[in-house]
Amino acid sequence: MSTEVKQEWPLWEVFVRSKAGLDHKHCGSLHAADPKMAIQMARDVYTRRQEGSSIWVVRSDQIVASDPGDKDMFFDPAEDKVYRHPTFYALPKSVDHM
Amino acid sequence: MYTQAMDTMGKDAGDGKQKAVRSADELRLEERFDARIDAGDFIEAKDWMPEHYRKTLVRQISQHAHSEIVGMLPEGNWISRAPTLKRKAILLAKVQDEGGHGLYLYAAAETLGTSRDQMFDALHTGKAKYSSIFNYPTLSWADMGTIGWLVDGAAIMNQVPICRCSYAPYARAMIRICREESFHQRQGYESLLTMMTHGTEAQKAMVQDAVNRWWWPSIMMFGPPDDQSPNSAQSMRWGIKRFSNDELRQKFIDATVEQAAILGVTLPDPDLKWNEERQSHDFGVIDWSEFWRVIAGDGPCNRERLQARVDAWDDGAWVREAAMAHANKQPMKEAA
């Protein structure tokens, strides 16, 4: 790696809210020098057809993620807790819409 | 737009071979990986993957990205020459889309651990390829419509199956691209249809001339025939590729024949005819020596295209540096 690579604009993750009432959804990433530029570029790259009503950008190096290698160990504890689902409980037909 | 260059790996890259010796650990991981592929699972950026899978994807996605970016040049040539304001706005939007598609794809390739600068460097030094189609010149306004109809049409045929690619960031980028690409083909066909229906004899001849020039390069976009495409089997095994080059080419030709008839143009292949038995069109022999010549750098516009990219990159250096310098000053200001 030369100094060239260090010159690269940092990477940002882009989240777009498609319309009021919905949540922001990750839609991709882009390089930008600063937050203002990241927002402007996100608009041009990811909402050219009015796909958004709000944009979040966050520096990719600021995101902390779970380890895919630990996926099973990490998420398995919820596997045997079927009683957390409403369907676990058998109720008389007349009140089953509960 | 699409790059067929992955299929040329055997000829333009020597590092495609898998290592013969693997550790027991690696073998176990690879078996698990293959099982996930067989189960139709998607692979995400941080999941374990074989080195060869990663390399193949970096090469294919980055070359696909390069194709989008270089693909802006032949059409960019006509933005200032469009016949009406409406056509100019449409062409601008299309070229902007291509820039956007390049950016989605570069971002997808970066998730595999290669930097944007490394990819640009590979393009600018001629190490990386892009779709051979963009090394042909755009000589008349009818080329714009023809590129939309044939070149983007072939690209869509190629790209739709990649929406189900096993590598999820690539598949997601492709879904976005395919959603936008249909406009590209439709605007092209409509532009040609306008000239063929309301145009003068000279304009109709211009459309036919454009179709004559773009037909063969368009059907070459699907890549070399299956028996000369050594890496296809592995890519199919890994769910990177879903249909063979020849299957897609046939599908494209069968779809295009009727469109040409409605348009009122002739496709420049005397051997093109319906084969009742195969329920498909037979077509003439493709000049693959031309294809390999253009891939190797000897197409009509290879040098011009690459130079335009290198100049754009070099001329923009001061902007990139200034923006970075400005950004670096901001925290200092806040602290002060």
Asked if A34 has any chain B CB less than 8 Å from its own CB, the reply is yes
In chain B, which residue's Cα lies nearest the Cα of A48?
B97
Q: Is the pLDDT of residue A4 over 50?
A: no
* Count of other CB atoms within 10 angstroms of residue B262: 10
- The pair of structure tokens assigned to B246 is 């020849």
- pLDDT (tens digit per residue) in A65-98: 998 888 889 999 888 899 999 999 999 999 999 8
Backbone angles phi, psi at B5, to 5 degrees: -65, -25
Q: What is the ipTM of this complex?
A: 0.85
> Has residue A20 got a pLDDT over 90?
yes
Residue contact B104–A45, C-beta within 8 A:
yes
- Mean per-residue pLDDT, A21-47: 96
pLDDT at B12 over 50: no
CB atoms B117 and A48 under 8 Å: no
The 10s digit of each residue's pLDDT in B221-266 is: 999 998 888 778 888 889 998 899 999 999 999 999 999 999 999 9
Report the predicted TM-score, pTM, of the whole model to 2 decimal places.
0.90
Residue that has been written with the tokens 């020849």 in this structure: B246
- Angle, in degrees to the nearest 10, between helices B201-220 and B168-198: 160
d(C-alpha B38, C-alpha B237), whole Å: 9
The answer to whether B107 contacts A49, with C-beta atoms less than 8 Å apart, is: no
Is residue B168 a contact partner of residue B44, using CB atoms and an 8 Å limit? Answer: yes
Task: Name the residue with tokens 């604009």.
Answer: A9
Q: What is the 3-state secondary structure (H, E, C) of B103-126?
A: HHHHHHHHCCCCCHHHHHHHHHCC
* Residue from B61, B117, B170, B183 to probe the interface with A (highest A Cβ count within 10 Å): B117
Residues in a beta bridge with B275: B280
Q: Is A59 on the interface with B (CB under 8 A)?
A: no
Please, what are the domains in chain A? Answer: 11-76 (3.10.20.520)
SS3 B82: coil
**Of the candidate ranges B258-267, B285-294, B326-335, the one whose mean pLDDT is the lowest:** B326-335
Give every CB contact of residue B10 below 8 A, 6+ residues apart in sequence. B16, B230, B231
**B45: its two tokens:** 């950026």
Going by DSSP bridges, is the β-strand pair A11-17/A54-59 parallel, antiparallel, or unpaired? Answer: antiparallel
Pick from B100, B115, B330: which is nearest to A45 by CB?
B100
Best to test chain B binding among A9, A36, A41, A59 (most B CBs inside 10 Å):
A9
Q: Residue B332 pLDDT > 70, yes or no?
A: no
Which residue's structure tokens are 């990986």? B33
Q: Which residue in B194, B225, B218 sits closest to B268, CA to CA?
A: B218
- Measure in Å the smallest separation between the Cα of B330 and chain A Cα atoms: 9
Single-letter residue type at B224: P
3-state secondary structure of A44: helix
Question: What's the rounded Cα separation, in Å, for the pair B198 and B323?
Answer: 49
Tokens of B1: 């737009």
Q: Among A9, A29, A34, select the one facing B107 at the smallest CB separation.
A: A29
